[in-house]
Amino acid sequence: MNETETPIRSPAAPRTNQPKQSLRSESLLRLSGVCLARQGRAILADLDLDLHEGEIHALVGANGSGKSSLAYAIMGCEGYRPDAGEIVFDGRRIDALQMHERARMGITLAWQEPARFEGLSIGDYVRIGARGEGVEDCLRRVGLDPARYASRATDKTLSGGERKRVELAAVLAMKPRLAILDEPTAGIDLLSLDALIEVIEALRSAGSTVLLITHQAEVASHADRASQLCGGRIVFRGDTAQVLAHYRLRACQRCDGTICHV
């Protein structure tokens, strides 16, 4: 950990074994029969996924199973428009929309490898999409002292963990309707995992639905529901504990495109 970093924290009391809040039954995001190929290779194959409004939904899968590609397809990244199927957000089909149009609808993606911006301060970066909540409070929630970090540049002088924290602070400030978190634990010390859950819960408390893409069972276990991805398909879904148990029994450490049936 950088000497100016502190553990990610939330002003809220430490999390206890509280029951998960009840979910709204409406679907905020629905993917039906989504197919995506890149350079002649199938990445997503007839994929179905449904996210309820207000839920935390964990997506697990071995490396190469298509998790990040799914996130890019939902966000509308260049080169990830589905070849078939539908992506429906809040009742509107969005698979033909550009990334900025989806962002205006309230979808945001915290990248596995956050971007660097030469000449832009951290405070200004977090402030760009802020909706109400102060930049300083958002930085504190992710364990960055505003006095030390708000004026620093979002450039190569930041460590990977610091850039990840800045990205999470920006997502908190946006208060998106759908927050896609792609491996949010990457580069963050293990002692901060519990506090990272507080950040994810803060997103939900602010009204966000969260798609949590993670390898960390400890983090995924706090989701309301979960889905396992293999070979570009959802092969198991439902109760988070059952999905994680199924995932632990997988045959491959890196997905080879063969559907896991265990």
pLDDT along the chain (262 residues), means of 10: 47 39 72 93 93 96 90 95 96 95 95 74 90 84 92 87 86 94 75 76 92 88 94 93 91 62 47
Counted domains in the chain: 2
Q: Within 13 Å, how many C-alpha atoms sit on residue 193's CB side?
A: 14
pLDDT given at position 18:
42
Contacting residues for 208 by C-beta, under 8 A, at least 6 apart:
175, 176, 177, 178, 179
Single-letter residue type at 230: C
- The runs of H, that is alpha helices, within 53-159 are 67-75, 99-104, 122-127, 135-141, 146-149
- Say whether both 101 and 194 belong to one domain: yes
- Say whether both 167 and 224 belong to one domain: no
- Say whether both 181 and 259 belong to one domain: yes
Which residues are paired to 29 by β-bridges?
A: 51, 89
Task: Flag whether 16 is in a domain.
Answer: no
pLDDT given at position 63:
85
- Say whether both 185 and 260 belong to one domain: yes
Alpha carbon of residue 255 to chain centroid: 20
pTM for the whole structure = 0.84
pLDDT given at position 180:
97
Specify the CATH number for the domain of residue 75: 3.40.50.300
Look at strands 84-89 and 117-121 and give their pairing.
unpaired
The whole domain housing 125 covers 114-175
pLDDT tens, position by position, 88-136: 999 999 999 999 999 999 999 987 766 677 788 999 999 988 886 688 9
| Of 235, 234, 240, the residue nearest 30 (C-alpha) | 234
Q: Which long-range contacts (CB under 8 A, 24 or more apart) does 128-131 make?
A: 128/170, 129/170, 129/173, 129/174, 130/173, 130/174, 131/173, 131/174, 131/175
pLDDT given at position 163:
84
Q: What is the largest CA-CA distance in the chain?
A: 52
